[in-house]
Amino acid sequence: MKQRRKTLPRSRPVSVVTGAAGFLGSHLTDRLLARGHQVIGIDNFVTGSVDNIAHLGGNPRFKFIQQDVTEFLFLDTRVDYVWHFASPASPIDYLELPIQTLKVGSLGTHKALGLAKNKRARFLLASTSEVYGDPLVHPQTEDYWGHVNPIGPRGCYDEAKRFAEALVMAYRQEHRVETRIVRIFNTYGPRMRLNDGRVVPAFISQALKQRPLTVFGQGDQTRSFCYVSDLIEGIYRLMMSDYDLPVNIGNPTEMTMLEFAHAVIRATRSRSKITFRPLPQDDPRQRRPDITRAKKILRWSPRVPLATGLVKTIDYFRLKVR
């Protein structure tokens, strides 16, 4: 009788997450650890926060390196996946840090791709719906090339991400690096910064402080909001898929900024009123993802309703607003 051969246990996958101390990077790190990965997080804390990863202190499967991703990345270990999330991602950040934003989108992406090439790892770029600019097509499909002002105040972020996508495709074609590109639409949830200039923390913090909610223009510009756990699940599925062209991940439920302001006031039970300010230059009038590709290829669609996600996010911000 033949003796059965013992199968060796499969070693844990090793993932590198740039921007690991950021809002999305820290949630991704949690998801990877929950899925059994060893994670090496890289961040220089320009916009990230140590608070976002403090709960991982002492975790033997998490290693943190404080470093600027635009510098050479040397890791003396096997790497299976590189998740490139490093970048300022809010209007306040990239308006104050335009050169750093352009550098992390270009040099940072180049260094992260170089690491993936050297380690023969699969690479995922966290791109953005901002590559569509102020869109002339609605909703936005991945085949739409965008309507972007390269010299406007948002150009440093928009063009950095557009360049990063082009660089990713070049590495795929010339160096045969396995690459993935996710275009992230408006996302919200715990660990957002109160003062990062994005509408969710701005509205919630104003409502919790009983201050007027600032709505730009007439409030008829639209956005769609995806809860962070849904977004991270979609991104994880994309990395593990065989698809190598851009994929929109976001929530297609669209609402005006005025509607969203009222939703926040109701959810916080605030007495806040609404005040109107002039619309910022190049602010997109409409923003909603077409997620047909994600549904078909990844079998993904968002599950968390806005009302549920807002409660979780507001509970987090209550602890931050004093």
Read off the pTM: 0.92
Does residue 74 belong to any structural domain of this protein? yes
Residue 30 is assigned to a structural domain of this protein? yes
> Is 188 part of the annotated catalytic residue set?
no
**Residue 314 covered by a domain:** no
Q: How far is CA 298 from the centre of its chain?
A: 18
- Reported as a pLDDT band with limits 50, 70 and 90, residue 5 is very low
Q: What mean pLDDT value characterizes the chain?
A: 92
Q: To 10 degrees, the CA torsion angle through 23, 46, 240, 294? A: 60
Q: What is the pLDDT of residues 222-233, one digit of tens each?
A: 889 999 999 999
Choice among 94, 157, 171, 188 that is catalytic: 157
133: enclosing H helix or E strand: none
> Any idea which of 11-15, 20-24, 52-56, 195-199 has the lowest mean pLDDT?
195-199
Q: Is the pLDDT of residue 3 over 50?
A: no
Q: pLDDT tens digits, residue range 237-254?
A: 999 999 999 999 999 999
Predicted pLDDT at 10: 58
pLDDT, tens digit (0-9, with 9 covering 90-100), for 124-169: 999 999 999 888 888 999 999 989 999 998 999 999 999 999 999 9
Residue at 268 is within a domain: no
Does 309 or 284 have the greater pLDDT score? 309
Check which CATH number belongs to the domain holding 135 and give it: 3.40.50.720
Query: What distance in Å separates the CA atoms of residue 231 and residue 236, rounded to the nearest whole number?
Result: 9
pLDDT at position 45 is 96
Domain of residue 97: give its range: 14-192+226-252+288-303
Distances (CA, A) of 65 to 21, 126, 281: 10, 20, 37
Mean pLDDT of 184-199: 91
**What pLDDT score does 282 carry?**
64
Number of domains in the chain: 1
Q: Are 123 and 84 in contact (CB under 8 A)?
A: yes
Position 9 scores a pLDDT of: 40
Q: Residue 102 — φ and ψ, nearest 5°?
A: -65, -40
pLDDT tens per residue, range 83-129: 999 999 888 888 899 999 999 999 999 999 999 999 999 999 999 99
Across 289-303, average pLDDT: 97
The stretch 289-318 carries a mean pLDDT of: 96
**pLDDT at 8 (0 to 100):** 35
Asked whether residue 293 is assigned to any structural domain, the reply reads yes
Q: What is the pLDDT of residue 287?
A: 83
Q: Which residues does residue 14 pair with via DSSP β-bridges, in sequence order?
A: 38
In a domain, 204, yes or no: no
Task: Identify the burial level of 43 via C-beta atoms within 10 angstroms of its C-beta, where 0-12 means exposed, 13-18 middle and 19 or more buried.
Answer: buried
Say how many residues make up the chain.
322
279 in any annotated domain: no
